[in-house]
Amino acid sequence: MNNFAIFGDCVTQGMFKKFSHTRAIGLTSILSVVSQPLPEAEIIQEEILKSDLSNYRKRAFLCDINKETINYLMEEKADYLVLDVTDCRNAVLGAYDLNKKDDINDVRCITANGFWNLLSSQFRNEFLNHYSYKVWYPTELKEELYFSAVYKFAELVKKYYESDRIIINRHFFADDLVENGQLIPFTVNSDRVLNLTFNTKNLVDSLFYLLKEQLPGCHVIEWPRNVLGVIPHVFGWSPLHYHPVCAAFGDECAEYFASVSKKEISDSIDAGLNAIGEAIFMENKRNLYTIKLDLLRGKLAQKEELKRIEQKQDVRNACQISILQNDWRKVGEELKYIKDIELYLECLNLIKTNVVIIMGVGQTVGEYISDKSFSLIRKLGFESIQREQGVMYAGLIYKDEKIEDTRGLKSKNVDRTLENNNTTFRIESNSFRPGKKVCSIKINGEEFAVNRRGINIVVFDPEENIVIDSIGFDSQQMVYRFIRGDKVYKGSIETE
């Protein structure tokens, strides 16, 4: 019998808590989970410990204010992690300038529900009068904040669980979807999508789609029309949770995940869950929320690019300072953490008078390598290298002295062995042949190349007689690959 760790509201917990489970947390906004703690967290913690409400509510709020929600859930790893994003409807308590923030890493807040429900009115009033905080409802905050939170939340979750061990429960709210037992018609007019009012249901749907995208391979429980359609349009606590039809559907889904093995669920998830009922809104995959998601994702991508540029400049500045201080080995250490080919080549050019740089081509240089990266390669001293498809190459620069710079004929392999200062170097640059290495770089008979298509580089310290780094860069496709060891970092095509 599988067990579950649960991050979700009472509907999700009601489905799965009847089985053996490791941890459960609800009543918590995803925005707060990944934000920074308030400076006054300790003051609030002392007050919450005095309250006489349930241990479950206390635990949820204490985890929230101390930013321990993820750690608590993952403390005893369960077979499956169950998520929903419905508690993002909860308000948060944050600074008066909270709406000026776009990046969740700059935000300090807590879930307002706990602050409001678990603390005395006297403490709340004194706290709000003394500190510059206010309660923010989802409709008052930028959508970008929530999207940034989901990105960070997904990254944290992936440290503990593979995607196929994650279940997303995508349930909806009866008072949003049905009226007098009938499903409310759902239509989209994409021409006016930018003018539509942002509300909490839009938020839940948008975050669901983004979370699903960030966790490829996860299992999704989608609620069918025939279940939601029978629920009367009522106000109250979680009509989905206690309605008999909904309870039966939830039980069936939860029992399915509780009883099957990992292999069985991987093989039969589509057949198993789709047989439960018609997936909701399948005919509206490109609905209002996915359209808005695309628009907002574009904004986030721009911000991520600006952040990447700033980080690259920080590394450049640090490396240049190290060179001015005659400490080139600090630059060598920095190389091991760089995953951007342009920045990597810039740093190599800073230390080329101190190291040996060996380069070989596997199959082809790569059609989509940028002009700037190619010019930096030639600046290192590898002047004969060509972009032409299928042209092999072997080069070696010894402390800024060109020792080898050989370009082969098209589809003809290059194999060079060199002796320099009692060290033997062998470089093999090969076109594709089944079972044969595409690139080999050996030093004193020991292999160091990552042996991947594209450019293979080994950086060697001749004074210490050690290899500093070994990487590969494959730009033959629109999505490039930067390779170090068994790690492959992917990115979009290089741009100038």
Assess whether pLDDT exceeds 50 at residue 186: no
Q: In this predicted model, which residue has the larger pLDDT, 238 or 42?
A: 42
* Confidence class for position 253, pLDDT limits 50, 70, 90: confident
The predicted pLDDT at position 262 comes to 56
The predicted pLDDT at position 194 comes to 28
CA atoms in the 13 A half-sphere facing the CB of 62: 15
431 is a domain residue: yes
Closest CA to 118 of 42, 48, 43: 48
Share of residues in the chain with pLDDT > 70 (%): 77
The answer to whether 137 and 143 have CB atoms below 8 angstroms apart is no
The answer to whether 226 and 172 have CB atoms below 8 angstroms apart is no
Edge-to-edge strands, sheet with 446-447? 414-420, 423-429, 439-443, 446-447
CA 126 to chain centre: 39
404 is a domain residue: yes
358 lies in the same domain as 220: no
- Those residues with Cβ within 8 angstroms of residue 215's Cβ, 6 or more apart along the chain or in another chain: 154, 157, 158, 163, 166, 168
Dihedral over alpha carbons 459, 461, 467, 472 (to 10 degrees): 0
In this structure, the number of other CB atoms found within 10 A of the CB of residue 465 comes to 12
Give 364-396 pLDDT, tens digit per residue: 888 788 889 999 999 999 999 988 888 899 999
381 lies in the same domain as 438: yes
Per-residue tokens: 52: 């006489």
8 is a domain residue: yes
Q: Taking residues 85-93, report their average pLDDT.
A: 86
- Those residues with Cβ within 8 angstroms of residue 14's Cβ, 6 or more apart along the chain or in another chain: 238, 241, 247, 250
The CA distance from 385 to 365, in Å, is 8
- Out of 246, 266, 301, a domain closes at 301
CA 100 to chain centre: 24
Give 260-279 pLDDT, tens digit per residue: 765 555 444 444 344 333 33
331 lies in the same domain as 295: no
Report the range of poorest mean pLDDT among 35-39, 68-72, 137-141, 287-291. Answer: 287-291
Domain tally for the chain?
2
H-helix or E-strand spanning residue 400: none
Q: What domain range is 487 assigned to?
A: 327-491
Summary mean pLDDT of the chain:
78
Most confident of 266-275, 309-318, 436-445: 436-445
The CA distance from 478 to 175, in Å, is 46
62 lies in the same domain as 165: yes
* Confidence class for position 226, pLDDT limits 50, 70, 90: low
The predicted pLDDT at position 446 comes to 94
Assess whether pLDDT exceeds 70 at residue 242: no
Q: Taking residues 33-53, report their average pLDDT.
A: 88
The predicted pLDDT at position 62 comes to 92
152 lies in the same domain as 198: yes
Q: Taking residues 76-86, report their average pLDDT.
A: 88
308 is a domain residue: no
* Confidence class for position 423, pLDDT limits 50, 70, 90: very high
* Confidence class for position 327, pLDDT limits 50, 70, 90: confident
Assess whether pLDDT exceeds 90 at residue 11: no
Assess whether pLDDT exceeds 60 at residue 8: yes
274 lies in the same domain as 382: no
The answer to whether 243 and 231 have CB atoms below 8 angstroms apart is yes
Q: How distant, in Å, are the alpha carbons of 82, 162, 165, 219, 298 from that of 262?
A: 15, 11, 8, 12, 35
Assess whether pLDDT exceeds 80 at residue 94: yes
The predicted pLDDT at position 14 comes to 84
Q: How many residues are recorded in the chain? A: 496
306 is a domain residue: no
